[in-house]
Amino acid sequence: GKYLALDCEMVGVGPKGTQSSVARVSVVNYYGAVQMDEFVQQRERVVDHRTPHSGIRKSDLDNAKSFDEIQSRVAELLKDKVLVGHAVFHDLQALSLAHPQTQTLDTQSYAWKFKVAKVKCIALRHLVKQELGLTIQDGEHSSVTDARATMAIFRLHEREWEKD
């Protein structure tokens, strides 16, 4: 299929752990099947694992793959695909990757553009609750769950959104 959804979880690095560093990367296909789900080795000391939010623990990062390896795997997967994501700019930025604008579909901006959302920057969990009646991110986040939810939102509105 031509669609892939991407979601990342971050940990905190730098002074007071306020800088975000990508620590888990998940990619699912149109049907929500996992194409990739990897933890990312940190190049700086992790000050805050943000576990209650990110779901990431120190032990998850012990045998993680290098950033470069993850980055090139994601780039390879996304080649010639339509990338679906929620505020996907952040995920691409975290991976230092670019993707053609014409091949990128952001559920956050589309939800606003097509009046699905009443606010411009709707949170994924609110959109999922509203559109699918599901609760996600109740406690620790999972980038697989979030990527699947994002794709489910896209599938629901695919006909209308893909005409654009």
Number of domains in the chain: 1
CATH code, 83: 3.30.420.10
Question: Domain range holding 82?
Answer: 3-163
Q: What is the pLDDT along the chain (164 residues), one digit of tens a residue?
A: 799 999 999 999 999 999 999 999 999 999 999 999 999 999 999 999 999 999 999 999 999 999 999 999 999 999 999 999 999 999 999 999 999 999 999 999 999 998 988 989 999 999 999 999 988 878 788 999 999 999 999 999 999 998 87
Return the closest-CA partner of residue 110 out of 144, 148, 151: 151
3-state DSSP call for residue 152? helix
Question: Whole-model pTM?
Answer: 0.94
